[in-house]
Structure 1
Amino acid sequence: MILVDGQPQDQVSAQDRGLLYGDGLFETIRFTGAVAPLWSRHMRRLAWGCERLRLPAPDPGLLWQEAATATRGLADAVLRITLTRGTGTRGYAMPAAPRPTRIVAAFSLPVLDAVSYRDGVRLHLCETRLAEQPRLAGIKHLNRLEQVLARAEWNDPAMAEGLLCDQHGHAISATAANLFAVVDGVPVTPALERCGVAGVLRAELLEALPRVEVRELPLAECLLASELFLSSSVRGILPVQAVADKVFAPGPVARAMQSHWHELGYPMEQA
């Protein structure tokens, strides 16, 4: 089901600023039945993004009601909340009194390959580099063209994801997941002050890991890590089996974080 401003429909104005300028934010939330274990983290990130973009924040209680309506009847669902600045006069200037457009859409959870959780996934090393824009870094804004171009670089079904770097050759993330590496026994995740999305599961893992470093991660150092894994609020924890021709093996940190994911309330994928 798709709700637009609380009403069942699937259309918005052709003059909506989300369509014209990518002026807005979104959250993608996994539901297990009527439960979304990371809901509060998604709401905090949405509020943070609204503050960054000077966008009126929606009422979390209203969003929860609409989420419950949209996901009704789905055993496992992916909910997308899209918030735009709404319509306005032509031009980039923000409307003096914006009336945001709120889209709440639920879809069945895609089939997840249990073997990938056991053995890991292969990553394409993307040529597309992430641009730096500190004012947008971290938030989940609507402009995903970098990810679209990166994803167009491969069509091999054996490649589950792509590894993205910044302009300086530092590993940042996958196209739709955050990245963790274990370097000299210490978990490391890239700093995201200049580019990248600060994922909600990443935030959860930063609290769950007994010691973790958030810092720049040069690609060369990343490829020498003892283990790599991805975190996604929809897919959970995926060990990395290979980046291009560099081979890895699922390690104890990834396994521990998979157990933590399960303890949050998500099912454990069984191969």
Structure 2
Amino acid sequence: MYWINGQQHDALAPSDRGLQFGDGCFTTARVIDGRIELLPWHIERLQQAAQRLMMPLTDWGALESEMARAAESIPLGVVKAILTRGSGGRGYSPQGVKILRALSLAALIPRTTCRGVNRASAWRSARWLWRVIRCLRGLSI
């Protein structure tokens, strides 16, 4: 079960440009005790990605509320927000597509991954990682 534009759904249209062409972006946020960590930062990153991809979403407050609602019953897990350009005609051009889909999915973290990490190292700073925009087609912008 997931939410599309604030409504619960069981399926996504196969004509969605996110499925057809990877036309969209996403963020995955950690949930602890029903609350999303760093939610304003995740929304800001989605706003930047949508702007770069020329995907106009005007109701960011609704998406933030939808993500928070999806996280409410999750003690430890993640919420993933996906923006796609929606369904459109045939071909690669997004011209004429006016529907933007915002999907929110929530999932528990499997017990096997809850053990944590004893030691880790990173070769880049967290600031650099934050600037990477995650696109659905696997490219970073």
Q: TM-score, normalised by structure 1?
A: 0.44
Secondary structure of the residue that 1:118 maps to in structure 2?
A: coil
Do the aligned residues in 2 keep the contact of 1:82 with 1:102 (CA within 8 Å)? Answer: yes
Q: In the aligned structure 2, how far is the partner of 1:113 from the partner of 1:97? A: 41
Secondary structure of the residue that 2:30 maps to in structure 1?
A: strand
User: Quick one: structure 1 residues 70 and 36, their matched pair in 2 at CA, closer, same or farther if it must change by over 3 Å?
Assistant: closer
Matches within 5 A, 1:146-185: none
Equivalent pairs: percent with the same residue?
Answer: 31
The ranges of structure 1 where at least 4 consecutive aligned residues each deviate by more than 4 angstroms after the TM superposition are: none
Matched, 1:143 2:137: yes
Comparing both chains, which one has the higher relative contact order based on Cα–Cα distances under 8 Å and sequence gaps of 6 or more?
Answer: 2
Q: In the aligned structure 1, how far is the partner of 2:13 from the partner of 2:70? A: 21
CA RMSD of aligned residues (A): 2.3
Give structure 2 stretches of 5+ with no counterpart: 122-130
- Residue 120 of structure 1 and its aligned partner are, at CA, apart by 4.3
Q: How many residues align?
A: 131
* 1:227-247 deviation line (CA, Å, top 9, x unaligned): xxxxxxxxxxxxxxxxxxxxx
* 1:127-154 deviation line (CA, Å, top 9, x unaligned): xxxxxxxxxx93110013xxxxxxxxxx
* 1:85-115 deviation line (CA, Å, top 9, x unaligned): 001111111133521111111111233353x
Q: Which residue of 1 aligns with 2:60?
A: 60
Letter in 1 for 2:136: L
Larger radius of gyration: 1
Matched, 1:83 2:77: no
Secondary structure of the residue that 1:117 maps to in structure 2?
A: coil
Do the aligned residues in 1 keep the contact of 2:84 with 2:100 (CA within 8 Å)? Answer: yes
Letter in 2 for 1:118: N
- Residue 38 of structure 1 and its aligned partner are, at CA, apart by 1.3
Matched, 1:99 2:99: yes
Q: Which residue of 2 aligns with 1:39?
A: 39
Give structure 1 stretches of 5+ with no counterpart: 122-136, 145-194, 198-271
Q: Which residue of 2 aligns with 1:241?
A: none
Q: In the aligned structure 2, how far is the partner of 1:96 from the partner of 1:117? A: 47
User: Quick one: structure 1 residues 84 and 77, their matched pair in 2 at CA, closer, same or farther if it must change by over 3 Å?
Assistant: same
Do the aligned residues in 1 keep the contact of 2:86 with 2:97 (CA within 8 Å)? Answer: no
Q: In the aligned structure 1, how far is the partner of 2:18 from the partner of 2:82? A: 9
Letter in 1 for 2:132: G
Q: In the aligned structure 2, how far is the partner of 1:47 from the partner of 1:68? A: 17
Q: In the aligned structure 2, how far is the partner of 1:57 from the partner of 1:43? A: 11
Q: In the aligned structure 2, how far is the partner of 1:28 from the partner of 1:46? A: 10
Q: In the aligned structure 2, how far is the partner of 1:6 from the partner of 1:196? A: 27
- Residue 55 of structure 1 and its aligned partner are, at CA, apart by 0.4
- Residue 50 of structure 1 and its aligned partner are, at CA, apart by 0.6
